[in-house]
């Protein structure tokens, strides 16, 4: 059983090491991860410069590219065998609600799923130290075993978010739907030492919509959230509502 491990925090991140240690008990691990932090790069591919791969330890490879590049290279021929599972993480920070569209962690799993491989993204919902990576890694291993044994519906990836709590304080897990986070619509404008303006985006966290059954609510209530995602972004409700669309266009 070969498992491909990737992340977006980079090959030296603590969360990646915790995940590798836990998954080593489930199968043979190959890690192909960015050589530096690539958080919030989303599903981007590097198409306009060469990609290099460095073997930094046996079966551990650092790539000068994005999480999606890593999974793409690994599955399309860099690894000696095709992995049966892709696991991305453990991200240092939540990937809840609409944040999944920015996430490099989720996108690595998305790429695995697009390539036809069952895939899981794992994130730790961190609001401050200490970081409880171990329970999140243990849960990832249990889930990985289950996915290997039972398979997964086609075109699906599992987005897992684990509250940053010691094992005994986690309440269990919930299957959830994607919620909605709220951020302040602000940006910072400052002036650099040479007198030029610069800008800093990323608004303050204003919480989340209290929708029932969502990932945000589950994590807030102390549960591990497991959301099945797919890449089809079609709004089927709108497709029906727009069914009678008439335009003056011949
Ligand atoms: Mn990250």
Task: Please tell me the distance between residue 153's alpha carbon and the centre of ligand 1 in angstroms.
Answer: 26
242 phi/psi in degrees, rounded to 5: -90, 5
Percent of the chain with pLDDT over 90: 92
Question: Three-state SS for 140?
Answer: helix
CA-wise closest residue to 7 among 155, 27, 29, 116: 29
What are the residue boundaries of the structural domains of the chain, listed by start? 2-180+209-241
Using CA atoms, how far apart are residues 38 and 36, in angstroms rounded to an integer?
A: 6
Contact 122, 140 (CB under 8 A): yes
Task: Please tell me the distance between residue 37's alpha carbon and the centre of ligand 1 in angstroms.
Answer: 7
* Residues bordering ligand 1, an ion, CB closer than 5 Å: 8-9, 39, 91
Confidence of residue 185 (pLDDT cuts 50, 70, 90): confident
Task: Please tell me the distance between residue 242's alpha carbon and the centre of ligand 1 in angstroms.
Answer: 37
Question: What pLDDT score does 128 carry?
Answer: 76
Mean pLDDT of all residues in 220-235: 96
Altogether, the residues listed in the chain come to a count of: 250
Residue-wise pLDDT for 59-116, tens only, equals 999 999 999 999 999 999 999 999 999 999 999 999 999 999 999 999 999 999 999 9
Using CA atoms, how far apart are residues 177 and 121, in angstroms rounded to an integer?
A: 15
Task: Please tell me the distance between residue 169's alpha carbon and the centre of ligand 1 in angstroms.
Answer: 24
* Strand intervals (E) in 192-239: 197-200, 205-208, 224-229
Task: Please tell me the distance between residue 124's alpha carbon and the centre of ligand 1 in angstroms.
Answer: 10
Domain boundaries 2-180+209-241, corresponding CATH code: 3.40.1210.10
Contact 69, 104 (CB under 8 A): no
* Strand intervals (E) in the chain: 2-6, 28-34, 53-57, 60-63, 85-92, 119-125, 157-163, 173-175, 181-183, 188-191, 197-200, 205-208, 224-229
Task: Please tell me the distance between residue 7's alpha carbon and the centre of ligand 1 in angstroms.
Answer: 7
pTM for the whole structure: 0.96
Task: Please tell me the distance between residue 246's alpha carbon and the centre of ligand 1 in angstroms.
Answer: 44
> What is the DSSP annotation of 149-178?
HH---TT-EEEEEEES--GGG---EEE-B-
Confidence of residue 26 (pLDDT cuts 50, 70, 90): very high
* Strand intervals (E) in 93-221: 119-125, 157-163, 173-175, 181-183, 188-191, 197-200, 205-208
Mean pLDDT of all residues in 168-188: 95
Task: Please tell me the distance between residue 10's alpha carbon and the centre of ligand 1 in angstroms.
Answer: 8
Residue-wise pLDDT for 120-159, tens only, equals 999 999 977 899 999 999 999 999 999 999 999 999 999 9
């Amino acid at each position: 059983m070969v498992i491909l491990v990737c992340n977006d925090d980079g090959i030296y991140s603590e969360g990646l090491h915790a995940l590798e240690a836990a998954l080593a008990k489930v199968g043979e691990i190959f890690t192909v991860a960015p050589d530096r932090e690539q958080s919030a790069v989303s599903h981007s591919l590097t198409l306009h410069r060469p990609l290099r791969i460095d073997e930094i330890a046996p079966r551990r490879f650092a790539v000068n590219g994005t999480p999606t590049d890593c999974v793409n290279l690994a599955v399309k021929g860099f690894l000696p065998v095709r992995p049966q599972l892709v696991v991305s993480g453990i991200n240092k920070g939540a990937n809840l609600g609409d944040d999944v569209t920015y996430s490099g962690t989720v996108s690595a799993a998305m790429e695995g799923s697009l390539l036809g491989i069952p895939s899981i993204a794992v994130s730790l919902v961190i609001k401050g130290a200490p970081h409880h990576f171990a329970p999140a890694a243990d849960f990832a291993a249990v889930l990985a075993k289950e996915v290997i044994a039972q398979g997964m519906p086609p075109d699906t990836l599992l987005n897992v978010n684990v509250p940053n709590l010691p094992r005994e304080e986690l309440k269990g897990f919930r299957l959830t739907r994607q919620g909605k986070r709220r951020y302040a619509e602000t940006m910072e404008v400052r002036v650099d030492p040479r007198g030029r303006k610069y800008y800093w985006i990323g608004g303050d966290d204003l919480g989340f919509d209290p929708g029932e059954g969502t990932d945000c609510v589950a994590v807030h209530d102390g549960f591990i959230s497991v959301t099945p995602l797919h890449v089809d972004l079609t709004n089927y409700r709108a497709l029906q509502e727009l069914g009678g669309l008439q335009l003056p266009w011949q």
